[in-house]
Amino acid sequence: MRFGTDGIRGVANVELTADLALRLGRAAARVLGDGPAVVGGDTRRSTPMIEAALVAGLASEGVEVHRLGVTPTPAVAFHAARLGGFGAVVSASHNPFHDNGIKVFGRGGSKLSDDVEAAIAAGLDDLPAPDGPVGAVVDRTGFDDAYVEHVVGVLEGRRLGGLPVVIDAANGAASRLAEEVIGRADAEPHVIAASPDGTNINDRCGATHPEALAAEVVRTGAAAGLALDGDADRLIAVDETGRVVDGDHVMAICALDLHAQGRLRHDTVVVTVMTNLGFRLAMRAAGIELVETAVGDRYVLEALRAGGYSIGGEQSGHVVFPDHATTGDGLLTGLVLLDVLRRSGRPLSELAAAAMTSLPQVLVNVRVRERPADVDALLADEIGVAAARLGADGRVLVRSSGTEPLVRVMVEAPTRELATSVADGLAAAVVARLG
């Protein structure tokens, strides 16, 4: 198994086994050093098994391990930075419960570079027997307060004034903390999907299934809804009418607010190739530049660090504020959004509509036998015909998934009918070429 865009991921106990987790822990220790290491995970049934093996691998190489138990991915990154160590999270993010994964953070809580990941992957096989002292393993469940204070600190002392908010915790890693974070910011939280049983993580809930959240927002008359994913590093919002406010809209609202305050460094936002054309047009109209990266929050983070920018993210809801966090943080992003909402005095539906207008975007995932190394070159003729058909009013993107045997076809166009027609044609070409 190799690293994808967000660590390694696969079916638990089939592709991602305890043996692999043990070896990964040992290999990571040999590349990243003797710690300390911070380890946490989500609520999947397989997480304790994989976490135990990972921790054993780290400790067998002499690493001092701080175990956080069930905790959000950004909390692990925060504590790794606070302790000056590295970190690891056992989670498959938004995937169903039978999958699991391992993400590794470098020292300071930053995502690993390709070179470091390659070095760890190369060390997975033929590991020599451990020959040094065993590292200590310490449970650190008392670390919650520091993380909660850190997240609420993004408000810089402002309060949310009793704003009624519904939070969907996806039966995942933030199930225990979501109400405390939002409540401590002086909002009125109502939390759903916060009763994990090992198998219900992301099950018809969370950032990939915001339908129940939308219904609850309308039912309760809340000002907004916040949907997290299984490891709580992404956010999808819902406005007061029950309409979804995706990552592009969240980024647009926050970027325009920073711009208006003169706090958007270099008047630039970092986005991925998947960011909607409507976002690009809205930022251009506001005089805001874009830096574009490949899909994956790690690439967004690299560009943010390299350029010293204030905000970047993905349509999927990974939004990063590098002044406050080293990775995406759904709860932190939610507070930033609620703060803009509170200060503006406008409903979220109006804020989202004023920030940008999404062009119809159709995404088709085509399962293939093997991910092609250069799908653009393989389908150059078909992509050229599709782009010509759309002209300047649309956009085509065909790429291989970083984690699954899929080719993703994305088409934007003035109408959904045209976008669907072009996407279906390209998907058929992928099937014809790759099976």
Q: What are the residue numbers of the active site?
A: 93
Nearest to 252 by CA among 266, 272, 233, 269: 269
Tell me the residue type at 94: H
Total length of the chain: 435
Q: Name the 3-class secondary structure at 425.
A: helix
Q: How far is CA 410 from CA 123, 396, 399, 400, in A?
A: 36, 6, 9, 11
d(CA 397, CA 73): 29
Residue identified by tokens 């701080």 is: 66
Cα 336 to Cα 319: distance, rounded to the nearest angstrom? 11
SS (HEC) of 93-145: CCCCCCEEEEEEECCCCCECCHHHHHHHHHCCCCCCCCCCCCCCEEECHHHHH
Give the burial class of 119: count Cβ atoms within 10 A of its Cβ; 0-12 exposed, 13-18 middle, 19 or more buried: middle
Q: How far, in Å, CA of 254 to CA of 237, rounded?
A: 13
Distance between CA 40 and CA 78 in Å, rounded? 12
DSSP string, 385-406: HHHHHHGGG-EEEEEE-SSSSE
Q: How many CA atoms lie within 13 A of 196 on its CB side?
A: 28
The phi and psi torsions of 232 (rounded to 5 degrees) equal 65, 30
Bridge partners, residue 10, by sequence = 100
In sequence order, the 6+-apart residues with CB closer than 8 A to the CB of 375 are 398, 399, 400, 407, 430
